[in-house]
Each structure stands twice: as C-alpha cells, then as structure tokens.
Amino acid sequence: MLGKKTGKIKSINDMTPHKHRKVRKNWQEESKKSYDFKKIENELEIKLEQDTPPANCPYLDSPVLVQNVPSTSRANMFKNRRRKNRQELKKEIEHLKSQFKEANKKKEKYKRAQRSQIAKLDTPAKNLKELTKGLHIAPAVKRKLLYGDVLTKQLRENFKNKTKYRKVIAGKVVKKYRLMSEVGKLCSVKMIRSATTEKKNKCNKLHRFLTTKNRDRKFLERDEHSRMCPGKQDPVTYKKNKRQTT
C-alpha cells in the first residue's frame, strides 16, 4: 500500500494495456506454482497419515522394528497379483502353442493338397479333356491324341533318365582301362564319349577365350594400332611399370 501511495507501484487502472497483460500473465504463473506446491503438500500429509502407525502400536518404541515389519495385507495383495498374472501368462502360452500346432497342421495339409493338385494338372487325360472340351470327337481320334501325348511325355522322361544314366556310367576310370566297348553294350558309345569329354570341352573353351584375349591385347598394344599414345616415347606408368595403352 505504501508503494502505491508514493507512486512507486502503479495500480491496474494506471497501467498500459501491454503492461496490464504482462502483469496478468505473471500473476497466473505464480498462482499456478502456488497451487501445485499446496497440492504436493496435501499429498505428502495424506501419505504420512497413511504410513504413520497408530498410537497403541506395540512396535512404536523401536523404530528399527517398525521399518522391518512387513505390511501383511499389501504383501498378500502383491503375491495374489503375481500369481494371477502368472496363471494368465501360462494360459496365453498354452493357447499360442495350440494355435501354432493347428497352423502347422494346416500348412502341411495345404502343401499336400498343392502337390496333389500340381500332379493332377499335368496329366495326359486331363490335357486331352481340356483340349476337346465342347467338341464332338470320335473315341478313336481321342485315343490317338491320348497316345501321342502319353508317348511324348514318356520320351521326355526317358531322355532325362538316360542323361542321368550317362553321367553316372561315364568317367575317367572307364576310359583308363579301355572298357568303353563293354559299357557301350548298355548305352551308346557316343553318349558316353560326350559325357567324358564334357569337362574337357569346357577347359578348351576357357583356353580359347584366354588365348584370343591375349592375342587381341598384344595387337592393340602395338604402336601402329594405339590411339592414345601413338609413339614409343608416350607410355603410361602404372605401379613403376611403363606400359603402352590402347
């Protein structure tokens, strides 16, 4: 009041609108801080009242014993809660295990169904049925078509087996002991020779490639064919080695 009378502190009515808003904002912040502080004090008082033992407590004279005395009701409450959570988790685990087993069974079932479906799709009878669907064809013609499809499929299967058989029989040992004629009684000598020379052909192919590469490289490194450094005095030094570049 003394500050207002002397004029050191202005009243609200004498302040400008900007100063008025600033003072109001500070007042709101201070009032909020005061409210929070009082709220914390009230919570501490309530907590102290709850934790303070009654006046007729037998352990009141020994503070050490008071600290070590457990709260039976609270301990039982936490123990029951842990037991309940454990039981719920066990039930959830069992449920997930059963779901996992069912999912595996369904997966195997779908795999078997898919394999059988794929096997059924590529059959001569089904192909013939799809091909002649909605057409009036004589049974003899259908039988001829079926015979052609079956024969083609059998030839493909035999060719695959014969290729495997050729790779199994052919080898260096047979060639070393000159038993190609004996093996030729089981399958053609031409097939055996092609199997024995398959690896050799690969090596020859690689050798031809490297030979051609080196020959082309030497050709391009010659002075009369070089474009970047046409003279012998213009080589490129790389790792202390002078080299003609193309």
Segment 2-47, tens digit of pLDDT: 556 666 677 777 788 888 888 888 888 999 888 888 888 888 878 7
For residue 243, list its beta bridge partners: 236
Residue 238: which pLDDT band, with cuts at 50, 70 and 90? confident
Q: 140: how many CB neighbours lie within 10 A of its CB?
A: 8
- Dihedral sign, CA of 63, 67, 70, 71? positive
DSSP state, residue 138: -
pLDDT of residue 5: 63
122 or 206: which leads in pLDDT: 206
CA dist., res. 99 & res. 86, Å (int): 20
pLDDT of residue 168: 64
- pTM for this model (two decimals): 0.26
pLDDT of residue 64: 45
Helix axes 189-196, 139-169, angle to 10 degrees: 50
Residue 68: which pLDDT band, with cuts at 50, 70 and 90? very low
Most confident of 89-93, 115-119, 172-176, 187-191: 89-93
